[in-house]
A and B are shown apart, each in its own frame.
Chain A
Amino acid sequence: MAHIQLKNISKSFGNHTALTGLNLEIADGEFFVLLGETGAGKTTTLRMVAGLEKPTEGQVFIDGVDVADWGAAERDVALVLQQYSLYPRYTVRENLEFPLKPKIRRLPDAEIKDRVARAAKTLRIEHLLDRKTDRLSGGEMQRVSIGRAIVRKPRVFLMDEPLSALDAKLREALRTELKNLQIQLGATFLFVTHDQIEAMSMGDKVGVLNHGRIVQTGTPHEIYNNPRDTYVASFVGSPPMNLIDGRLVDNRAVMAPMNFELPLTKTAAATEGRPLVFGIRPEDVYLESGAPVEARVHDVENHGVEKILTLRVGDTTLRATVPARTDVAIEQSVRFAWNADKVVLFDKGSGVSLRHAS
Chain B
Amino acid sequence: MITLWFSLLVLCWMLFFVLEGFDFGVGILGPALGRDDHERGAIVRTVGPFWDGNEVWLVAAIGVTFAAFPDWYAALLSALYLPMVAILLLLAIRGVALEFRGKGDGPRWRQLCDAALTTSSAGIVLLWGAILGVLTHGLAVGPDGQVTGTGLSRSLGPLASWPALAGAILALFAALLLGAAFLSLRTTGPVHVRAQRATLAIASTGTAVLAVLGIVTGSWLLLAAAALSLIITLIARTGREMLAFAGTATGVAGAVVAVFTHHGDVVLRSTLNPAWSLTMTGAAATGSALKLITVVGVVVLPGVLVYQAFSYWVFRKRVSSERVPS
The judgment on whether A and B are partners is: no
Which residues of A are at the interface with B, using a C-beta cutoff of 8 A?
none
Which residues of B are at the interface with A, using a C-beta cutoff of 8 A?
none
